Amino acid sequence: MKTKMFFASAIFLLVLTACSTASTPTPIPTSIPLDSNRDGLITPEELRVTIETMRKLVGAIEAEKPELAAKLSAEISVYEEALTNPIGLDIWSISQTANELLTAIDEINKSR
């Protein structure tokens, strides 16, 4: 009888643990690597990685902030087109877009 009660308690505890961990949403990652090696120079490859990361993060916020996601997606598209001539890219604009995206992600993570 004690064995059955032990197993019933153990199963109940496992189910309870599984339910509590499954209901906790995973936070959206909050980093965008602009100058990943911290040498002060931003290479075209680092720009590609930055823009790809931003594109993925926009997809992650699309369900909760669709208007902002559409705006940021349009900005990122401009940066993607400009990658053919990275010298003409405005790093300040890319940084501002990244900051806006990270702020939105932070708000979403806090609301979860």
Domain boundaries, the chain: 28-111
pLDDT digits (tens, 9 = 90+) for 48-93: 888 999 999 999 899 889 999 999 999 999 988 888 877 777 888 8
Instruction: Name residue 58's amino acid.
Output: V
pLDDT at position 109: 86
User: How much is the average pLDDT of 28-42?
Assistant: 76
Q: How far apart are CA 55 and CA 72, in angstroms?
A: 9
Angle between helix 91-111 and helix 66-82 axes, rounded to 10 deg = 150
The residue behind tokens 């997606």 is 73
pLDDT at position 67: 94
Tokens of 83: 């990658």
pLDDT at position 25: 62
pLDDT at position 87: 74
pTM beyond 0.85, yes or no: no
More confident residue, 25 or 36: 36
Q: How far apart are CA 67 and CA 103, in angstroms?
A: 15
Per-residue pLDDT at 23 exceeds 80: no
User: How much is the average pLDDT of 13-38?
Assistant: 63
CB atoms within 10 A of CB 87: 6
